[in-house]
Amino acid sequence: ELSTAEASSVVPICLKAGEFFVFHSRVIHGSAINASAAPRLGLGLRYCSNQTKIISPEPACVQIIGADSKGLNKIHDAPTEE
């Protein structure tokens, strides 16, 4: 349940099939039920510098550019086309 102040600041974003939008992970967000037969997909990404140690039981780090000069995290290979 949103407060009156929160409800007054809601901004609807209407997207067509195949479109997407990007927002900060701390933004409160939601959507109506998916009434189509197609799945709705989501993808969460985070950027960290090579000086950041990821504290997690099994971090999933994929290096996009540069080198892991600090060796702080286990770097996974980037996915390839299947």
Tens of pLDDT, residues 17-43: 888 888 888 888 888 888 889 888 888
> What is the per-residue pLDDT across 71-80, written as a single tens digit (0 to 9) for each?
888 888 877 8
From residue 10, alpha-carbon distances to 4, 28, 74, 80, 82 in Å are 10, 10, 39, 39, 40
